[in-house]
Homo-oligomer: A and B are copies of this chain.
Amino acid sequence: MIIVVITVSERDYDVIVVGAGIMGLASAYHLKIAMPDKSIVVLEKESSYSQGNSGRSVSGYRDFFSTVVNQKLSKSSIKFYSYIQKDLGYDIQMKNVGYMFLMSMSKFDSMKSIITKLQSSTDLRILDRSELSKIHPLILDVDKEESRALNLQPIEVGVLGRRCGVLEIEKLSSFYYEECRRLGVEFNFKTQVNSLDVVPRNPSGYPNEPFLWQDKLIGGISTNRGDYSARRYVLTTGAWTGKLLDRIGVDSHMKAKKRFVYQIGGNSITEMVRTSYGLNDEGLFPFLVLPSHGVYLRPHPSSGTFWISTSGTTSDQEIGPTFSFDSADDIEYTEPSDEYFVDNILPVLRAYMRDMPDMKITGKWTGYYSLNSQDKTPYIFAFLNAIVATGGSGAGLMKSDSIGRVVASIASGQTETRLFDGSTILNSSLGVADRDVGIETLRF
């Protein structure tokens, strides 16, 4: 009898990226471009890339935000995504359908100065009631009784971002993945990182290291498939970031917030999805945010459905056990109930939209926002020999290319990042100690 003993030896790299969601993919790609000679591995617990909350996002994109840093991060990323599709000819199903916030006049007035400023930097169209009335599915005169019962805001103004729309995140992810592979980035799937091992930079050899007075670094990580080590670690771990960092006393500045997405279809819906109402040149319905309770509709052209969800940003509406912040151990992609849609979302939808006689739920899933509920802006910060990028707050996809560039810039020891569109960002402004981003208010 021959006994074969397989010992999994420690694997050593220059850089380990933890998490192959869209931020991890973009980070690995830009890291490899910045340091082509370095060995880079991406570890991912799922069996492929973007199978976690990236793949569960609704993948809309917009370039209008209240803060300059969010404007920069999104604008450059969108330009790069467009470059991928148009110049490189890699189809990511980017559809410039527009992104429209419907709102009351008083809400519009409160945002007027931001919107006026934005009009000089991007293409925003403001629609009044007479223009909105041409979008036939919209009910502009919401029933008064219903409005009171459901706490609804009136539809009085539409703010349409025209350089905005939707794309297929699996396709965008595939672009980054294939480029990473081509450049020599390694991917280890089904590899779940359980903990980060903090060690002294100069070991003393005494037990119970590291001590308070020792310089420290991440010496390795333990996974379900053995230990790994690297000179540098990049954590693009989305909703799981808190779990890894809490254990070593580093603040992740994010909370994992559950949200449900419902796909609704039917002939009337498909017809609506494939009508532009003069709002874009794609012949498709825009990404639409209703004026109340954060309910939004994302047109999904190829299936002829809408994906409907709620914003998840902290408001006095989304409070209660349904909206709990889950610790990483509780993160489960349990299928949401039809009942939740019928009780919570459908009444709002029906109050604002007509022409959906045969609407039916054709799909549904649970995802998690990595929410920074203070400033609703990503965090990119370094500690020891690690860099953390998190806090997409429901607007991560549309900033991910820029986030990847900032990560690569920090890893390269630079203080400033030049984005794809030539604009620059001070890296420390997205960090903790010198954070300088302002509070994002253009959300729903």
A residues with CB within 8 A of B:
150-152, 198, 206, 208, 210-216, 245-251, 253, 255, 257, 292-293, 295, 310, 314, 316-325, 327, 339, 343-345, 347-348, 371, 373-374, 383-384, 432-435, 439
Contacts and interface: CB of A to CB of B under 8 A. Distances in A.
A246 to B, nearest CB: 4
Contact of A432 (B150, B249, B373): B373
A129 to B, nearest CB: 23
B212 A310 contact: yes
Contacts of A384: 316, 319
A198 B325 contact: no
Given A325-B249, A374-B251, A216 B314 contact: no
Contacts of A206: 343
B212 A249 contact: no
A320 B210 contact: yes
A262 to B, nearest CB: 13
A121 to B, nearest CB: 24
B216 A320 contact: yes
Contacts of A295: 212
Q: How many copies does the complex hold?
A: 2
A213 B293 contact: yes
A253 B374 contact: yes
Contacts of A208: 339, 343
A310 to B, nearest CB: 6
B214 A151 contact: yes
Nearest to A218: B319
Given A373-B432, A433-B439, A439-B433, A319 B249 contact: yes
17 contacts: A151-B215, A152-B213, A211-B343, A212-B293, A212-B295, A212-B345, A212-B348, A248-B320, A249-B320, A249-B324, A249-B325, A251-B255, A251-B325, A251-B374, A253-B374, A319-B383, A374-B432
A213 B150 contact: yes
A198 B321 contact: yes
Contact of A323 (B213, B249, B292, B319): B249
A251 B373 contact: yes
A200 to B, nearest CB: 10
Contact of A248 (B212, B310, B323, B432): B323
